Amino acid sequence: MADTTVTSTETGSSPREHNAAGGPKAIIKNVDMTEEMQQESVEIASAALEKYNIEKDIAAQIKKEFDRRHGPTWHVVVGKNFGSYVTHETKHFIYFYVGSLAILIWKS
């Protein structure tokens, strides 16, 4: 069994900036993930945002890509106003904004 951590998030916490290669700037709010995987998260999310306009579709695309690249089971929430309290595998959690959209990704 993988190590787990409980993390809570709420839209509007303290930021840290992260850029996708040539893409939009991401503001990282909370993270327990390697730098490499953080960059990958922003790139995958940016690609989904370019392809889809509906939050549910954006989340589904991000989840499918994470499951494909890193194995199941990933969870994704995309939206403008939400709180969360999740248990995740250690080093498999990120919460960030791209523009006005918050994106929460974690593995359990």
Q: Which domain holds residue 39?
A: 4-107
34-89 tens-digit pLDDT: 999 999 999 999 999 999 999 999 999 999 999 999 999 999 999 999 999 999 99
CB atoms within 10 A of CB 23: 15
Q: What per-residue confidence (pLDDT) applies to 13?
A: 46
pTM for this structure? 0.82
* Six-digit token string for 44: 């995958």
Number of domains in the chain: 1
For 64, residues 6+ apart whose C-beta sits below 8 A from its C-beta are none
Residue-level pLDDT at 1? 47
pLDDT of res. 14: 46
Instruction: Say whether pLDDT at 8 is over 90.
Output: no
Are 8 and 85 in contact by the 8 Å Cβ rule? The answer is yes
Instruction: Give the CATH number, domain containing residue 32.
Output: 3.30.740.10
Residue 100 has pLDDT above 90, yes or no: yes
